[in-house]
Amino acid sequence: VKKFAADWQVKAKQFDPKSGDTTERPNTPSDYFPTVYYPGTGNPPDLSLITKARHEGPAYVYSLLTGYTDQPAALLKKFPDAKVPDGLYYN
């Protein structure tokens, strides 16, 4: 995690109280990710603090990211017209 944070392209700002200058420092795991905006679709949720805010937070994020699966073949056989459109996932 520390290596991933340090390799992140946006460097965190750091204020030097002695000189009054703002400098950059390597990122740390506690820094926030920059906000991303996709025109017409809004912002994705910020999951940076969700592991601390929820009970079993890391397990929740893991389930959220890996929980989308393909539609079961048995369901497609029973309901052939219930296909999920391209770009969407059965969940």
Mean pLDDT across the stretch 41-55? 80
Looking at every residue in the chain, the average pLDDT score rounds to 78
Q: Is residue 91 part of a domain?
A: no
Q: Is residue 78 part of a domain?
A: yes
Domain identity same for 53 and 75: yes
pLDDT at 12 over 70: no
pLDDT at 8 over 70: no
Looking at the structure of the chain, the number of domains it has is: 2
What is the domain extent for residue 15?
A: 1-42
- Claim: this prediction has a pTM higher than 0.75: no
Distances (CA, A) of 35 to 30, 38, 48, 56, 82: 15, 10, 11, 25, 36
